[in-house]
Amino acid sequence: MNTLEEIANTIKQYDRFIILSHIRPDGDAIGSTIAIGSTLEAMGKTVTYVNEDGVPDNLAFLPGSDKVSQATGEVLDIEVAIAVDCANKPRLGDKSLAMAGKASLWINIDHHKSNPSYGDLNHVDSTSPATGQILYNLITENDLPFTDEARDSIYVAVSTDTGSFQYSGTTAATYEMAADLVRRGVDTGKINELTYDSFPYRRIALTRELLNTLELSAEGAVADWQLLKSVKSELNLKAEDSEDLIDMIRSIEGVCVALFFEELVETDAIRVSIRSKVGSIDACEVAQIFGGGGHAKAAGIRMDGPIERAREAVIAEVIKHL
């Protein structure tokens, strides 16, 4: 693994960058993109911010989010590609990868334990609760410019990936970072309201539909629900509408593992989200059996359908690990 100092020194030597993050981006992906991008711009660099799916509506309030464009596949004249919060290169998306095709150097900054270190320079710290916290360290430890955009986006990146600073991976350093961001001017009341209390009605309608599919197995230790294509069409859902809803069923007393099975519209594949409680299974180990990956307490899979067969296979594997 390369040190943050090595990455900072390397960044200083180049001028033209593209910043990429994973498909179906969450707060850590978009927040990290804006954070490193705005820092580079403050250093006088030329920066293109790209995501395969663009910025989800629920994160459009972030200052700098308007700079993140949806990938077009157009090959850009850039020198360095920086991938943030992405466990493997294909998850950046085909069009995003095409846009970065001329990059002579790849920098991979991430916190997923399944990351195979696909960059020329890699800083993958699975002990960090969010990629946003790694970028905070990169900026502060190397005296790089700390913009207001970076400040707000790092706060959202870390807050969303730690369940608002609740998950077990949250460290003393995380709280110290948050305190520093507040000192730098983060408006916590406003930014938390925009992050957690500004959902569209269709998300509530989706919650109702998901609860109607809720099932418990393994004597109540495993909870799962399913999202079908027909429901997505009926409610006119967007990808971000289901973000973090799985935490609702993980919170059920006695449940050790929560599973979310989703039929993808664009393919016949099934997207599986796995969330486990402290002292339970390693979600990443289960996900890797099916070609997925992630973290010990939060991981994901994309696998062949139909949804009934995927559900049966994953639940059986989870029960083996309990």
pLDDT digits (tens, 9 = 90+) for 111-128: 999 999 999 999 999 999
pLDDT at position 35 is 98
Give the pLDDT confidence score for residue 268 in this predicted structure.
Answer: 86
- Domain CATH for 119: 3.90.1640.10
Same domain for 162 and 48, yes or no, is yes
Q: Count other C-beta atoms under 10 Å from residue 148's C-beta.
A: 13
pLDDT at 116: 96
Residue type, 66: D
User: How many helices (H) and strands (E) are present in the chain, helices listed first?
Assistant: 12, 12
Residue 70's nearest CA partner among 85, 53, 83, 90 is 53
Q: What is the pLDDT of residue 13?
A: 98
- Which amino acid belongs to residue 174? T
Cβ contacts of 56 within 8 Å, gap of 6 or more = 25, 30, 238, 239, 240, 243
**Distance between CA atoms of residues 102 and 100, nearest Å:** 6
Domain stops at, among 170, 196, 222: 196
pLDDT average, residue stretch 31-55: 98
What's phi and psi for 260, nearest 5 deg? -125, 115
Domain boundary among 196, 231, 247: 196
Which percentage of the chain shows pLDDT scores above 70?
A: 100
Residue 185: left if φ>0, alpha if ψ -120 to 50, beta else—which one? left
Do 236 and 99 fall within a single domain?
no
- Across the range 255-272, mean pLDDT stands at 95
Q: Are 187 and 317 within one domain?
A: no
Same domain? 165 vs 223: no
In this prediction, residues 172-182 reach a mean pLDDT of 98
Q: What is the mean pLDDT of the chain?
A: 97
Same domain, 124 and 261: no
Helix (H) or strand (E) holding 194: helix 188-196
Q: Is the pLDDT of residue 279 over 90?
A: no
Tokens of 58: 């629920």
Q: 160 and 290, same structural domain?
A: no
**Total count of domains within the chain:** 2
How many percent of the chain have pLDDT more than 90?
Answer: 97
**CATH number of the structural domain spanning residue 249:** 3.10.310.30
Rounded mean pLDDT, 246-260: 97
Q: Which residues contact 281 (CB under 8 A, 6 or more apart)?
A: 256, 257, 318, 321, 322
84, 169: one domain: yes
- Predicted confidence band at 168 (pLDDT cuts at 50, 70, 90)? confident
* Helix axes of 131-141 and 148-161: crossing angle, nearest 10 degrees: 150
Do the Cβ atoms of 14 and 78 come closer than 8 Å? Answer: no
What confidence tens digit (pLDDT) does each residue in 54-91 have? Answer: 999 999 999 999 999 999 999 999 999 999 999 999 99
Domain that holds residue 67: 4-196
The residue out of 196, 212, 244 marking a domain boundary is 196
Q: Are residues 212 and 177 in the same domain?
A: no
Pair type for strands 121-124 and 105-110: parallel
In single-letter form, the type of residue at position 107 comes to I
Closest CA to 321 of 277, 269, 291, 265: 277
Q: Are residues 126 and 220 in the same domain?
A: no
For residue 47, what pLDDT band results from cuts at 50, 70 and 90? very high
Note whether 130 and 227 are same-domain residues. Answer: no
Q: Do 242 and 260 form a contact (C-beta atoms < 8 A)?
A: yes
Q: How far is Cα 92 from Cα 79, in angstroms, rounded to an integer?
A: 18
pLDDT digits (tens, 9 = 90+) for 185-233: 999 999 999 999 999 999 999 999 999 999 999 999 999 999 999 999 9
Phi, psi (deg, nearest 5) at residue 254: 95, -20
Q: Please, what is the end-to-end C-alpha distance for the chain in angstroms?
A: 32
Q: How far is Cα 263 from Cα 232, in angstroms, rounded to an integer?
A: 9
Whether residue 236 sits in one domain with residue 148? no
**Residue 182 and residue 65 share a domain:** yes
Q: How many CA atoms lie within 13 A of 153 on its CB side?
A: 33
Supply the pLDDT for residue 250.
Answer: 96
Res. 266 pLDDT band, cuts 50 70 90? confident
